[in-house]
Amino acid sequence: MSATTAEGTAGLSRRGTAARLARRHGWTVGVYVLLFLLVLYWRTQTNLPWGPFDVQSLAIDALPLAFAACGQAIVILSGGIDLSVGSMMSLVNVVAAKYMVHMSLEEALLFSVALVACTALAGAVTGLVIVVTRVADIIVTLAMLFVLAGAALAVLEVPGGGVPVQYQSLVTIDTVGTKWLPAAILILLGSYAVLWLTMRRTRPGLALYAIGSNRPAAYLAGVNVSATRVLAYAFSGAFAALGGLALTAASGLGDPNSGTIYTLNSVAAVVLGGVSLLGGVGGLLGPIAAAFVLTLVKSLMILRGVDQNYAQVIQGTLIVLVVMLGGLAIRQKAKGG
């Protein structure tokens, strides 16, 4: 048996609060700094006067991806992945555009709520399939990607449909007096607040982090792992619907392929936002900022007239570079501290 003096316990040290805060939130702050720098650069690239319209268009452009990233982040934090996000967005987009055309604003809003509820349910079913069959999440959600993409094409084979004009203006027109704060941002902030409360202040929210961080430990601590996983996919479904609706409001059109790019872009935003793909580490503010960064990079390249194909190469390279540099910085800090 090993013997130890009082030193044994005294050696169980702790670190300073400031260092801990920097370590926990450093990445998120970094992403916002990156966003700020990009916005500055963006301003130097246009000679036109910079106005509320630019902020609005950026916010509207970024909103679908921000929602998709939130849903994806929740699943990834819980230790899973959801590849069906994009197809779900397409499906919601075409269903909304097909049936909302002749609706009043109130009807359209009600219909939206129903759509979100339905997709949350669909997400829960996906989660249930994963939990019950024990097939890997990546396979089940990949299958869902095809199923939902097919369904979207079945609903609306070619782009078409539409939404009430007032529905579109929900995101486009400022609703709070100042033109600098688009409604899209407010909607996003509102959903973030709700999410933050759930994720950080309720037991199911903590359970999401717990099962992503160390599943056996969470189980031994009495967490209902299966129910929590189902919950994560339900969240993801609901947020994919919000993303799809944002897409519909922005374009005023239904397109069965409109969501396709969002599957992998949402994963990119989550990673860029500082969430560990292994689960358990990260928040939602980072991925939201990352969604704006990715959107801004894209529009910057359009602005500069970069070829579409090269634009993708550049975007991919950028993601790898940022994530790599971030990883290096963390390792450096770990060595120094």
In the complex, the smallest distance separating the C-beta of residue 4 from another protein, rounded to whole angstroms, is 3
Q: Which of 258, 283, 226, 245 is nearest to 119 (CA)?
A: 245
Report the residue from 27, 67, 209, 235 that binds another protein according to the rule CB under 8 A.
209
What is the total count of residues that contact another protein (CB under 8 A)? 35
The dihedral built from the CA positions of residue 11, 16, 21 and 27, taken in this order, carries a sign that is negative
Report the residue from 224, 257, 312, 315 that binds another protein according to the rule CB under 8 A.
224
12 vs 48, beta carbon nearer another protein:
12
In the complex, the smallest distance separating the C-beta of residue 54 from another protein, rounded to whole angstroms, is 38
15 vs 134, beta carbon nearer another protein:
15
Contact criterion met (CB below 8 Å) for 37 and 209: no
38 vs 227, beta carbon nearer another protein:
227
212 vs 243, beta carbon nearer another protein:
212
Restricted to residues 166-205, the positions that interact with another protein (CB under 8 A) are 203
Which residue type does 206 have? L
Q: Does 213 bind another protein (CB under 8 A)?
A: yes
Q: Does 336 bind another protein (CB under 8 A)?
A: no
Q: Does 333 bind another protein (CB under 8 A)?
A: no
Q: Does 335 bind another protein (CB under 8 A)?
A: no
Q: Does 220 bind another protein (CB under 8 A)?
A: yes
179 vs 200, beta carbon nearer another protein:
200
Helices 285-303 and 308-336: crossing angle in degrees, nearest 10, is 140
| Cα distance between residue 245 and residue 92, in whole Å | 7
Which residue type does 9 have? T
* Other Cβ atoms within 10 Å of 307 Cβ, number: 10
Three-class secondary structure assignment of 275-312: CCCCCCCCCCHHHHHHHHHHHHHHHHHHHCCCCHHHHH
Q: Does 3 bind another protein (CB under 8 A)?
A: yes
11 vs 177, beta carbon nearer another protein:
11
Q: Each residue of 264-297: b (16+ CB within 10 Å) or e? A: ebbbbbbbbbbbeeebbbbbbbbbbbbbbbbbbb
Report the residue from 210, 231, 269, 296 that binds another protein according to the rule CB under 8 A.
210
In the complex, the smallest distance separating the C-beta of residue 304 from another protein, rounded to whole angstroms, is 40
Q: Does 75 bind another protein (CB under 8 A)?
A: no
Please calculate the CA angle 271-188-156 and round it to the nearest 5 degrees: 85
| Cα distance between residue 270 and residue 276, in whole Å | 8
Restricted to residues 12-71, the positions that interact with another protein (CB under 8 A) are 12, 14-15, 17, 20, 24
| Cα distance between residue 182 and residue 186, in whole Å | 7
Contact residues for another protein, defined by CB under 8 A: 1-9, 11-12, 14-15, 17, 20, 24, 203, 206-207, 209-210, 212-214, 216-224, 280-281
